[in-house]
A and B are shown apart, each in its own frame.
Chain A
Amino acid sequence: MKTLVYLIIGVFFGIVMYKSEAASWFRIYEMFEFGSFHMYGIIGSALAIGVIGTQIIKRRNIKALGGQDMQLNPKAMSIPRYLFGGLLFGLGWALAGACPGPMFVLAGAGYGSILIVIFGALGGTFIYGLLRNKLPH
């Protein structure tokens, strides 16, 4: 039953990514060229609702299904980790024109070349795992 819920959320997410064109290389490029409000509107409106909803959850102490706490854990503070990691991610996001969610959406849409991007992403994740103790966090 729970599996079906996760699957439905995933299908919905995939359709939203594709139909919003957030999974399109062209929209990512256009965003970094500041050529349209579209991507900023998507992220901005998601955040407007996200911030308000998250505040309501916290203030009213709303629980997840089954009475467990919602997964709203604070992130440990650091500057180099988020800045350097974020910068490398941004370079890749603009180069491949896809971030981790849309990668899989595009694979489902039938773009074979995205499998090379996914393969690269797995490689990058693996190499990070090997090097992480040597990197500033």
Chain B
Amino acid sequence: MRTALMFARKEAFEILRTWRIYVLPAIMVFFAVTGPVLAKYTPELLGAVAGSQFASLQLPEPTVFDSYGQWIKNLSQIVIFALIIIYGGIISSERRSGTAVLVLTKPVSRTTFVMVKAAVHATYLAVLLVGGTLVTWVVTAVVFGEAPGGALWSSSLIWLVMAVCYLALMTLFSVLIPSAAGAAGAGLGAFMVLSIGGIWKPASDYSPAGLLERAATLATGEGADFPFWPVGSTLVLSLGAVGLAAILFRRKEL
């Protein structure tokens, strides 16, 4: 247990002292700040750009839920893409650089190596999400003059479940594919499969394929039911992917 904690400590310091502390937080803060502003002023911007062309088109008055929807949409597309690319080398980069050999010839099991990495970065994603959502919440309150919390936080937490699932899949792909770019490609393939799968209702109702759509629905504040089935199956898939990654990594030759 102490070994796992020491390795987790190393992972945490690695986040704090390398590019990892800038890239994903910068992307999330950017969307957290700009999302509510864009949601509020998009009709006016469109009107200013298009002039009289859309004079007959009546855009609805923006609400806080447009701001929340913007936040979830950005998280579900650009932040997920960034996450897939960033974590393509979560395991393979240490294998390729040789640092894994120095660690794994000490009393650190390969299972610990994989599990701790996945756990630390899942925690990091959770911290980033909480931070980004707080910023969105505050900026929305400033821009719109009100910001009910329920829809924002419930939809963001649903997104977190899906983000952790992508992290778990990237951990698996990074064990299977030695190149970070190759693993990222596999991750983007998984994103496409899940996005297309969401069109089929049974998959949308019961599998991870429907989760991002449910998050978007919750953000509208329409009081949708909590998606227990997609959340449950996503958590099972995440645990399965990390468990499989650990088993496969134990068999790998370094």
A binds B: no
Interface residues of chain B, those whose CB is within 8 Å of chain A, are none
Interface residues of chain A, those whose CB is within 8 Å of chain B, are none
